[in-house]
Amino acid sequence: MFFTILQVALGGAIGASARYLTGVGILRVFGQMGFPLGVITVNVLGSFIMGAFVVFAANKGLTHWAPFVMTGMLGGFTTFSSFSLETVTLIERGAFGLATLYVLLSVGLSIGGLMLGMVATRGVFA
């Protein structure tokens, strides 16, 4: 268990650093924009890598690398990749209703949670 936690922690440090550097790179190439291009870039790229890794690891017997790559690196890079994988897994199982509910609740409740956190914290500092 300790080794797995170490894998996740190391992967997370690498993924978070890659996320930061990707954002910096996007900013340097495109300049300041009103659209969050850096965020959407890491979300799409992370989802692509997650999909590629899931198939690659399953075919090559490398699923033991999942904590390091999927939870650690890709989790630190973008949690959207995990969200995408869970959604596609539900769809592939034929659970279209659950997949739709998962997407709607994940997005809606996450935005709601963020807004609630902002309102509550603004109340503290008002």
Binding residues: 75, 78
- Residue 26 has a CB neighbour count (10 Å cut-off) of 18
SS3 94: coil
Phi and psi angles of residue 54, each rounded to the nearest 5 degrees, phi first = -55, -45
Query: Distance between CA atoms of 11 and 72, rounded to whole angstroms?
Result: 4
Q: With DSSP H G I counted as helix, E B as strand and the rest as coil, what are the percentages for the chain, rounded to 5?
A: 90, 0, 10
Burial class (CB in 10 A: 0-12, 13-18, 19+), 34: exposed
Pick out the residues of the known binding site for Na(+).
Answer: 75, 78
